[in-house]
Structure 1
Amino acid sequence: MDRLSVVDFLSKQEKEELLAEAGGEKKKHRTRQATIVSLADVEPEEVPWLWEPYIPLSKLTILEGDPAAGKTFVGLAIASAISNGRGLLAQDGRPGPPFVPGNVLYLTAEDGLADTIRPRLDSLGADVKRVFSVLPAADGENVSLADVVELDLIAAQIKPRLIVIDPLQAYLGAGIDMHRANETRPVLSRLAWLAEKHKCAVLCLRHLTKAPTGRAIYRGMGSIDFTAAARSVLLAGVDPADEGRRALVQIKSSLAPIGVAIGYTLTQKEGFLWAGVSSLTKGDLLAGDRILVDEEKTALREACDFLQDILADGPVDSKQIKKEARKAGIAEKTLHRAKSQCGITAKKIGHEKWVWQLEEAF
């Protein structure tokens, strides 16, 4: 099925005006007129919330985690709650008061609507008449966040209370490098404009980087500008000591104090269930990365010790070393890392034979 593009029904002038309003390309010969305002003329406003203090309205929120964390289930659980007006947990871990149901625009690039999204929404009790998505175009391309004109018109039709983008990197648009701030910043600005204009929350799902870093807030994939632009950042993860325990932990909140961690379970029998307040922390959820790093360091030390022992009496044929390493349970990749870091040098003997030896022996 081809995606119906509402932009096709706009005149060229209308497209240019809408794009200019969103902060996109300037109209030809357009001179930007700065507007100066005194803060005395600005009326203070309270922050409106979709789910206090986790997801503000009219702002960007990021939900990040590893694939096994169940980010999409969390996103769908939030979307389901919005669609039927109940089910979001309060700070005591109990369901909050019911609210007016709202529409949801759920953009998904990794899961099928018929075989994954709809069954999961049904299991969560969603009012699926209030949940919408956008089909890819005939060429297979998804709607792009860079195409703010189309997104604006889609939002005008659906009037969503929540827009979910799953995952964020799939909708950045062709040619956008998510690691370059100068390329992602304009996209984020237009997305923030969209949230503000339609008074809806925008929830972007993002994967974590594979390389652990010192702080949880830097673990999300791509430019740090994503984190900077979001008013709230949520981390979904699994307790490495108990895979049955999962939690949603807020790691950034610019508009309110950090909320309590919210637990959830995800099982084949019961599906997704909220589990009240959780004692898990962001450190707990990322501890698995530290465990892996520690395991890698231990394996590297063992490989270095192995090389020091086998080469103690002089050069050894590299093929023999690799054979003995396999017997010792040392991966070849780890062996080569140990070779480069532990003072081991290779030298060619004759036409085909290579030997390894302790560096000082050459």
Structure 2
Amino acid sequence: MADVTSWEPPRMSDEDIEFLVGFDDDGLAQPTGPAPSPQPRARRRSARIVPLDLRAIEPEAVRWLWPGWLARGKLHILGGHPGDGKSTLAIAVAANLSTGGSWPDGGRAPLGRALIMPAEDGIADTVIPRLREHHADTARVAVATTMDDAGRERLIDLTRDISALEEVLVANQYDLLVIDPLTGYMPGSDRNAEGAVRDILTPLAAMADRTGTALLAIMHVGKPSGISRRPLQQLLGATAFGAVARLVWMTAPAPGETDGPERRALGVVKSNLAERPRALEWSRDRDAAIQWHGDASASIEALLRESGVEPKRLPRDDAREFLLDLLGDGEPLLATDIQEAARVEGIAWRTVRRAADGLPIAKRKVTNAGQAHYFWELTPTSVASLSTS
């Protein structure tokens, strides 16, 4: 065996060393020149604000369908209590447009087209008869409540169906869209949350602006609470409802003795577009068209204040009356539906439950597929006594 103690590594030339340092430990070639300078990272392109040059924008006049009342491309709200005739008033407006008839203040309506979205009234037994009572041209008025979603029918949802709604408005050149009621097409939304309401109404108002369609949305108002409450504060829900709308109409009782049906007033409580017109008086016999009676005797604000002063009542009195009205036909109702109706009326659920304890209301539990449902109904004898009285 050779003596390794005397072994010496071979001498390498400068060229050999330069060649070897050009490889890393894995035998991959390494650059032998100076290290490249780092390249700057490409900046992500972000959205930017583009100020508008106002010199390039021509001023436009408000495009009125009904001067002072109904404007193209704007969101309007019509507020009132249940039974105040809000839906009938909206149908009267749509019918007038469909024939180019006369407005209640004497002006002339343009000939137009209307789309009605009724979430509460039946189409065959309520909407169509009312249109005929007001001599509408039903070839120029349509009704829509549902979406065809991949073969499945569902209610129109303003939180996600704005684009589909806009397509229909543009394709059919509708001048008026009636949403009755507005909250009926906001499923799952918190109607008392400012942000949630604005997230729905802002795109809706923008759609109206793009299409030039006047939007008339129906809303319920709360119970009168004295003279200190402003009209817009009576709309049930967040203040954003009244804030986003450009015009807000309201109805109120019109005082005075008449031989015919009770008279009411219709007025504008908010307008961002023009001076508010005078309130108008109207009345309606059962199953008949609205009759207009000229200017109201007072402003709509004064009439609303007057209607808000009521004798002192306990909350339980309101809850008792609410339950008798709701269950008076003898049909059982889900407790959850009663609770929602009470919320809309501004009555606390605990007050409703206490009032129910003093009424002949039967409560029963029904189990279906392992899920419990609770029903409330007036007992048959109490329904009979109510009918007699």
Question: Aligned partners of 2:114 and 2:183: how far apart in 1?
Answer: 20
Aligned residue number for residue 161 of structure 1: 175
1:29-74 superposed Cα distances (whole Å, 9 cap, x missing partner) = 9953322113333321111111110111111111100112100111
Question: Aligned partners of 1:291 and 1:192: how far apart in 2?
Answer: 36
Q: Which amino acid aligns with 2:238?
A: S
Q: 2:277 aligns with which of 237, 259, 265?
A: 259
Q: Which segment drifts farther, 151-160 or 34-43? A: 34-43
Question: 1:295 offset after TM fit, Å?
Answer: 4.5
- Summarize the alignment of residues 202-221 of structure 1 with structure 2, pairs less than 5 Å apart: 202-210=215-223, 212=225, 214-221=229-236
SS in 1 for 2:146: coil
Question: Aligned partners of 1:211 and 1:145: how far apart in 2?
Answer: 29
- Summarize the alignment of residues 1-362 of structure 1 with structure 2, pairs less than 5 Å apart: 31-90=46-105, 95-99=106-110, 101-137=111-147, 141-146=154-159, 147-172=161-186, 174-210=187-223, 212=225, 214-239=229-254, 244-268=262-286, 270-280=288-298, 281-292=300-311, 294-296=312-314
Question: Aligned partners of 2:169 and 2:304: how far apart in 1?
Answer: 35
Question: 1:240 offset after TM fit, Å?
Answer: 6.2
1:65-104 superposed Cα distances (whole Å, 9 cap, x missing partner) = 01121001110010111111112133xxxx21353x1110
Unaligned runs of 5+ in 1: 1-28, 300-332, 337-362
Q: Which amino acid aligns with 1:88?
A: W
- For the pair shown, the structure with the greater C-alpha radius of gyration is 2
Question: Aligned partners of 1:112 and 1:270: how far apart in 2?
Answer: 17
Question: Aligned partners of 1:123 and 1:31: how far apart in 2?
Answer: 57
Question: Aligned partners of 2:70 and 2:45: how far apart in 1?
Answer: 36
Question: 1:186 offset after TM fit, Å?
Answer: 1.6
Question: Aligned partners of 1:151 and 1:166: how far apart in 2?
Answer: 15
Aligned length: 267
Asked if the contact 1:179–1:222 (Cα under 8 Å) also holds between the matched residues in 2, the reply is yes
Asked if the contact 1:61–1:232 (Cα under 8 Å) also holds between the matched residues in 2, the reply is yes
Runs of 4+ residues deviating >6 angstroms:
none
TM-score after normalising by structure 1: 0.68
Question: Aligned partners of 2:82 and 2:255: how far apart in 1?
Answer: 14
1:195-223 superposed Cα distances (whole Å, 9 cap, x missing partner) = 11111111111000236261112111111
Aligned residue number for residue 344 of structure 1: none
Asked if the contact 2:66–2:109 (Cα under 8 Å) also holds between the matched residues in 1, the reply is no
Asked if the contact 1:105–1:133 (Cα under 8 Å) also holds between the matched residues in 2, the reply is yes
Q: Which amino acid aligns with 1:63?
A: L
TM-score after normalising by structure 2: 0.63
Q: Which amino acid aligns with 1:170?
A: G
- Residue identity (%): 30
SS in 2 for 1:160: coil
Question: Aligned partners of 1:134 and 1:217: how far apart in 2?
Answer: 28
Asked if the contact 1:60–1:232 (Cα under 8 Å) also holds between the matched residues in 2, the reply is yes
Please tell me the root mean square deviation across aligned C-alpha atoms, in Å.
2.6
1:237-276 superposed Cα distances (whole Å, 9 cap, x missing partner) = 2236667111101100111001011111111264322222
SS in 2 for 1:192: helix
1:104-146 superposed Cα distances (whole Å, 9 cap, x missing partner) = 0100001011000000000001011111111435876321112
